[in-house]
Amino acid sequence: MKRILIATSVLLAACSSLSSGVAEPLAETAKTEIKSDGWYPSRYGADDRLGAMNNLSAAKTAEAAKLITTGKTYALGQVTGAKTPAYGPRKFSMTILQLSDGSGTPLGENKAVGNDDLVNTYIGIGSQIDGLGHMGIDHRYYNGVPVSEFVTTGGLTQYGTHTLPPVATRGVLLDMTKTFGDPVAPGTAFNRAEIEAAAKAAGVSIGEGDIVLFHTGTMKATENDAELAPVEPGLGVEGAQYLADLGVVAIGADTWALEVIPFEKEARPFDVHLTLLAKNGVYILENMVTTELAADGVTEFFFTLGAPRLEGAVQAIINPVAIR
């Protein structure tokens, strides 16, 4: 467990080094050409920067809209604030200011007053989408692009989450508590066999353009915890590749990392992240609120998301909506 926390701390330290400032490209640490090992170029073309978002379509949206039969909506994002559990140095703070000069003096003869807000936060807090610039392999990211070609201290020049198209497609919920208990025990991996069994039990198939969410009961079971748990159930590497091969757009769960921790192989930390983001261009949805969906027995639904358009952002704090 200590090694897991060390690996996590190293990752977060690397992320925190990209503080805002003058946009200057970062130099690659390795100058030698890195072989692709077959994971790039992408199936969507060598110049593609959207990955599995290419599997969205107007036809898919229209078909998914037919799943709306009751009109009930579900907020899949959690409330994010100063007390939201996050690994250091990630933190959130908000300051409320008076408009104009900050004194609160009413403006004009109609005595207009108001408030403004200033937020200072890491974006990797709370419910979030991981963009394709979040994690890579040996300083190369989705489609083999070197870090020196898109990472600057002032933001990403490629893969920024502001470039993501609106998402309106079919969502699938796999309730893993029906098989493994509620909550699912930390360290439980979901690979192809487990995914196929859960899909069969739910009476659903998974296809191109879908969003897949896993319900593990973890968020509900830990809702009063002040810190994130160092271990969790989640997706395994084989399961990640299986879903990517089916053409899904994004995969999420009611856990902070989506993937199983302890990792399946200790020497390969965050291998599910690398499999999805770098190798397949599939997006990751973390800390999804799935409790109510599962309680209502929902297995498929209309999923919609408009990511905040913060230019050059690696990730985005989100509140997707499920409608059935």
Between these two residues, 243 and 16, which has the higher pLDDT value? 243
Given a contact cutoff of 8 angstroms between Cβ atoms, the answer to whether 251 and 285 are in contact is yes
Confidence tier at 36 by pLDDT (50, 70, 90): low
Tokens of 268: 């390969």
Measure the CA–CA gap between 207 and 94, rounded to whole angstroms.
Answer: 41
Task: State the CB neighbour count (10 A cutoff) for residue 6.
Answer: 11
Q: Does the structure show a pLDDT above 50 at 86?
A: yes
User: Residue 11's pLDDT band (boundaries 50, 70, 90)?
Assistant: very low
Q: Which regions of 112-210 does DSSP assign to beta strands (E)?
A: 115-121, 128-130, 140-141, 145-146, 151-152, 155-156, 167-175, 189-190
Mean pLDDT of 16-39: 47
Cα 107 off chain centre by: 43
In the predicted structure, residue 30 carries a pLDDT above the cut 50? no
User: Mean pLDDT, the chain, as a whole number?
Assistant: 91
Rounded CA separation 152/149 (Å): 9
Q: In the predicted model, what is the mean pLDDT of residues 64-89?
A: 95
Closest CA to 183 of 140, 229, 129: 229
In this predicted structure, the answer to whether residue 29 has a pLDDT above a threshold of 50 is no
For the 51-80+126-323 domain, the top CATH level (class) is alpha beta
What is the C-alpha to C-alpha distance for residues 223 and 70, in angstroms, rounded to an integer? 29
Measure the N-to-C terminal CA separation of the chain; round to a whole number of Å: 40
Domain segments of the chain as ranges = 51-80+126-323
Q: For position 88, what pLDDT does the model report?
A: 78
Residue 302 bridge partners (DSSP): 170, 323
Q: What is the pLDDT of residues 255-295, one digit of tens each?
A: 999 999 999 999 999 999 999 999 999 999 999 999 999 99
| Rounded Cα gap, residues 125 and 111, in angstroms | 38
Percent pLDDT > 90 in the chain is 85
**pLDDT value for 37:** 76
Give every CB contact of residue 178 below 8 A, 6+ residues apart in sequence.
198, 201
Indicate the pairing of strand 73-75 with strand 211-215.
Answer: unpaired
> Tell me, what's the pLDDT at 87?
76
What is the band of 4 on the pLDDT scale with cuts at 50, 70, 90? very low
pLDDT at 313 over 60: yes
Digit-coded pLDDT (tens) for 129-161: 999 999 999 999 999 999 999 999 999 999 999
The residue ranking higher by pLDDT, 38 or 291, is 291
Of the candidates 60, 48, 14, the one whose C-alpha atom is nearest the C-alpha of residue 282 is 48
Q: State mean pLDDT over 72-76.
A: 98
pTM above 0.85, yes or no: yes
102 pLDDT band, cuts 50/70/90, is: confident
Residue 15 has which token pair? 């992320």
Tens-digit pLDDT profile for residues 111-132: 999 999 999 999 999 999 999 9
pLDDT of residue 18: 39
